[in-house]
Structure 1
Amino acid sequence: MSRRQLLPPDRTQAFTDFLARRLLRVPARPGQPAEPPPGALRIASYNLHKCVGTDNRFDPGRIATVIHELDADILALQEADRRFGRREGLLDMAELQRHTGLAMMPLAMARGGHGWHGNALLARNARMIEARRLRLPGGEPRGAVMVELEFASGRVRVVAAHLGLLRRHRAQQVNALLESIAEADDTPILLLGDLNEWRPGPRSSLRALERDFGPVDAGPPTFPSRLPVFSLDRILCRPTGLLGGLATHETPLSRVASDHLPLTAHLDLAAARPAALAAAA
């Protein structure tokens, strides 16, 4: 019998977190997320693993159910399209919209695709103002999308990305993302997705993001979904004070539907207006 079998589930997770912090220098899990302020938007990022679960089953229906559980207003998806061939999308987006209200932003180049290099963006009760597809440098095809959305509570610019597997490529891709927002106005910017970085401290390929988005190390582990140890997924915001409640969405279904757990947070766009007025004063 293994050590994991000897421990009850809550102590198993505590033991795993302890090992992660001691051996891998992964930050401790945050406590219970705070209640969002009235009118805050719910944000989520989810790597679908092409709808193949930890049981090796291809099941888009399970992914759709997890997305329904998220109840997000803004949702970034990674690996939402087939990687080869016609790059078709893997979800029934029309059915998903009927059940969740989430509309897919028109980002795909291929007919029937969901996004750009597998990055799809969905939003509820929002108007798309502008969208850009970004090519990212590196040894494998990678991309990001930048979409400006207008909600009743205000505007937000969303940058959704899936960075590369090699540290030097991720560093190049981070610089490319920063260049893409260098001339942006003071509209709040969300940066979210699978950034593929688990190293905290000076070795992190995400370090250059801190000037604009604040600390990049803090974040709950999302991978592997059955027993998460690595904080591969991020939700970041500029300015930093608008984002709160960062947490994993961990349910029996989300632990098996993909090898990543979804990451969620809330965004208070109403708080951006006083900050902008104070900066202009």
Structure 2
Amino acid sequence: MTICPANTPPATSSLRVASYNIRKAVGLDWRRDSTRILRVLAEMNADIVVLQEADKRLGPRPGVLPTGVLLDELGYEFADFDPEAPSHGWHGNAILFRKSRFNLVQNRKVSLPTLEPRGAVSAIFETPKFEVIGVHLGLTPNTRKKQLRRLAEHVGETDYPVLIAGDFNSAIANAQIETLFGNRVQAVKPGPSFHASRPFAALDRFVLANFTGKMASFVHRSDLTRFASDHLPVVIDVDF
């Protein structure tokens, strides 16, 4: 299998992060096809990819993507949150990164208040130092509000750039998110990303703290993304 990155990468002074709910690699045709997800990742050509629903739901929750192809063809490695488990991440959240660009110095799980098996995953890179947090928030407004407050507490303890990316499970206004976090953050809604066949809801987004450079975001659309998952991926380019 040969999968070549298709999209022009950002300048070396920029960081490209993508977020994608891959629905366990099950497309709208109800076939599990990891190759389609790999090809979408190649199209975006991001430095770091935050995934949701990257593991199967039952049993030991094994990951659904071929790690060998990710590394050999696309140069991606997973931040390892549990070396003893077959999962790509934790509660379906996973972080892919290119070791050739950034050095991973710390990765950890971030517990969130919830009644469901949900949480967040964090990876800290250098140089320069920055943190990426992958999230898949809860299904109810009250749960999501508690989870956002917990993330705000986490961000409030940092003095370096933090980028939160993921499926927020809500089209909540950016202003509401920024109010919960305070004036240290900027919420970014690239556009409608759900449902992939006819996007109408902006469920997938980014929250940035301590970033001062230019940024641009978009929803990645292609022939593949229309049926590879029920979500479209979102991308942000941040200038350091």
Runs of 4+ displaced beyond 4 Å: 35-38, 204-207
Q: Is the 8 A contact 2:54 2:64 kept in 1?
A: yes
Residue equivalent to 1:24: none
Choose from 126, 129, 142 the match for 1:150. Answer: 126
Structure whose alpha-carbon radius of gyration is higher: 1
Q: Tell me the TM-score normalized by structure 2.
A: 0.88
Instruction: Give the length in aligned residue pairs.
Output: 230
Q: Rate the CA distance shift 1:55–1:182 in 2: closer, same or farther, 3 A.
A: same
Residue equivalent to 2:229: 258
Q: Is the 8 A contact 1:47 1:194 kept in 2?
A: yes
CA distance in 2 between counterparts of 1:68 and 1:206 reads: 32
Amino acid at match of 1:120: A
Residue equivalent to 1:85: 59
Tell me which protein shows more helix as a share of its residues: 1
Q: Is residue 200 from structure 1 mapped to residue 176 from structure 2 by the alignment? A: no
Identical-pair percentage: 37
Choose from 147, 151, 155 the match for 1:177. Answer: 151
Deviation at 1:191, TM superposition (A): 0.7
SS in 1 for 2:129: strand
Choose from 32, 44, 47 the match for 1:73. Answer: 47
Choose from 157, 160, 163 the match for 1:187. Answer: 160
Q: Is the 8 A contact 1:79 1:118 kept in 2?
A: yes
CA RMSD of aligned residues (A): 2.0
CA distance in 1 between counterparts of 2:191 and 2:84 reads: 34
Q: Rate the CA distance shift 1:266–1:205 in 2: closer, same or farther, 3 A.
A: closer
CA distance in 2 between counterparts of 1:69 and 1:263 reads: 12
Choose from 44, 52, 74 the match for 1:100. Answer: 74
Residue equivalent to 2:116: 140
Unaligned 5+ segments in structure 2 are 1-8
Q: Is residue 166 from structure 1 mapped to residue 137 from structure 2 by the alignment? A: no
Query: Relative to structure 2, which stretch is displaced further, 253-262 or 121-130?
Result: 121-130
Deviation at 1:146, TM superposition (A): 1.5
Unaligned 5+ segments in structure 1 are 1-34, 270-281
